[in-house]
Structure formats: C-alpha cells, structure tokens
Amino acid sequence: MKASAAATHTSLIKQKAKELGFSHCGVAKAGFLEEEAPRLEAWLKGNMNGQMHYMANHFDKRLDPTKLVPGAKSVISFLYNYYPEQDLAQSSHYKIAKYAYGTDYHFVIKDKLRELLQYIYDTIGEVEGRAFTDSAPVMERQWAQKSGLGWLGKNSLLLNKQKGSFFFLAELILDLDLEPDIPLAKDFCGNCTRCIDACPTEAIVTPGVVDGSRCISYYTIELKEAIPEEVKGKFENWVFGCDICQDVCPWNRFSTPHQEAEFQPHPDMRGMKKGDWEEISREVFNKVFKKSAVKRTKYEGFVRNINFVRQKKEEH
C-alpha cells in the first residue's frame, strides 16, 4: 500500500532531523492549546513570572500556533542533547548550568533548523514555516509532550525515557500536513518528589508548577536588581542558572554525553578556581563567555551573583 504524502513527508523530515543531530523528533497537529489557557492565566495572575514581563505578552500567540504561522497545520518538536562529558559543577566552587558551558544554543540550533527548513523547501516544495528555539511565544514543553517526546515532570520540564531532561527544545511550525505522533498517555514520575524536595528556594510550588520568580535561574539571570536577602544562603553556589532539580531526577541517569563540538566549554573555564571566579575581570569574562549564554547576565550581573553567594559563605 502506497504511503500517504503526509507520511512520506514526515519520514523525510525525521530522517533529516536525525542527520542534523537531533536525538528525537515528533509531530503534533497545530491547534489552540485549550487545556493550557487556564493554567497559563493562573500562573501569570500568581505573578510567577516575576520581572519576566515578556511572559505576559502575546497570550493568544502562546496558545495558538496559527497566529505565528497563518494556516499552520503541524508543529514539529525536536530534542537536542546538551549533557556534558564532565559536570563542571562537581569540580568548580561556583556553579554554572550545564546548558551554558559552550556556544549559546540559540545560534547552534537555529542554524540547524534553518538547514532543515531549506531541506523541506528543496524536497517538498514551497511551505510557509518558522523556526523557534526558546525565542518566541511558543509553549515548547507542551508541544513536545503533544508530539510524543515525553511528559511534563513535577519540575515542569519535559522528561524523556531515553534521555532524561538535559536537552534543548526546538520547533518548526509549518502549513504542511504531516502525520502526528501519539502523546504519552501518562507520566512516569509516579510518587517521586526528589525535585520538589531538593529545590532550596521551594520554587516548585505544586507538582508541575514552578514559581519562576523563586527559581535560582531567575535570580541569577532574569532579575536585574539586587537579589532579595531572604534567599541568601540558599543558592548552593549556583551563579548562573541551576541544575538541582535535574541533577536529582532519577530519569537523568539515562543522560549520555552530547556529540556537539560547539557545546564544549571554553578551555579556560575548566581550570577556574574559587579565587579566579571571585576576581574575574571584565576581560576574562568576555573571553571565557564570548559565545556563551552566560553573556545574558552581563559582567555586572555575573559579579553580583558571585558576591551574593560569597557573602553567604562569609556570613554563615
């Protein structure tokens, strides 16, 4: 029996995604995320976005991909592994989230998505589509879940049985009919509450709901003013982002090192000692984090974070 055009196109896209280094690729039918609307509204009303005011923008676009790509028919979700060979947080006094070790993922993954889009144009024909990776009002985790790539854990992150959660999410929204995958019927967290129990700032307020304004990642990246005194002593030496809820997750025992050269840390970063971090100059910061997502916090913000953690050590 001859495969349908949708099935053929889906197979071509998934094969190319694999060649480009994506570990998983899934498809969901584009449409309004009806069940997410009240959850997003409640999260915003609870001010859980803190100073991330952009999270309150484009409410309709977040829930409806056809407002991002008119006539959208399919949302393709991708996973791209970033788990490092060496966890620098184990050897460095001050800790940086694993996703920020190498070149900013926005650039690396966007390039791959552009290449995939070009492949679609060349092999399938003229298709209207846009590529996204944490850069637009797209509910990435929800779309990945709908496309069968995993389930949403108690820490609100997407969990995958084969890969855990140390991966980037990316999407293509296309006005092309594709064969949708089947979402997982259940989550596989069971009664485990390790992520909730381990969070030092109690940011996971209920299973699956994270108060972004209480997350260490928020304090060290998004917050532009002084970090509140009430969380002093709770950062466990994290100075950019935080991996605590992922590090304790049993599913991450299946994480395997990535094969992406761009995600290797700057050589100087591996040898940084406690004193080097505390005395870091603007010149060294710009050199070590030239292409890294750490630049988001800027030199002043990075120094603020180190001093905040350092004061805690000196005062306790």
Q: Which residues are catalytic?
A: 134
What is the residue-wise DSSP string for the chain? Answer: -PPPHHHHHHHHHHHHHHHTT-SEEEEEE----GGGHHHHHHHHHTTTTTT-GGGGS-HHHHH-GGGTSTT--EEEEEEEE---SS-GGGT-SSEE-GGGSSS-HHHHHHHHHHHHHHHHHHHT----EEEESSSSS--HHHHHHHTTS-EE-TTSSEEBTTTBT-EEEEEEEESS---PPPPPSS-S-TT--HHHHH-TT--EEETTEE-GGGSHHIIIII--SPPPGGGTT-STTEEE---HHHHT-GGGGG------GGGSPPHHHHT--HHHHHT--HHHHHHHTSSSGGGGGHHHHHHHHHHHHHHHHHH-
- Specify which residues 27 forms β-bridges with: 76
Q: Do residues 221 and 297 make contact, with C-beta atoms less than 8 angstroms apart? A: yes
Question: Strand pairing partners for 210?
Answer: 204
> Maximum CA pair distance of the chain?
73
User: 151-152 and 204-206 as β-strands: parallel, antiparallel, unpaired?
Assistant: unpaired
Q: How far is it, in rounded angstroms, from Cα 204 to Cα 97?
A: 18
Cβ-based burial of 97 (10 A; exposed 0-12, middle 13-18, buried ≥19): buried
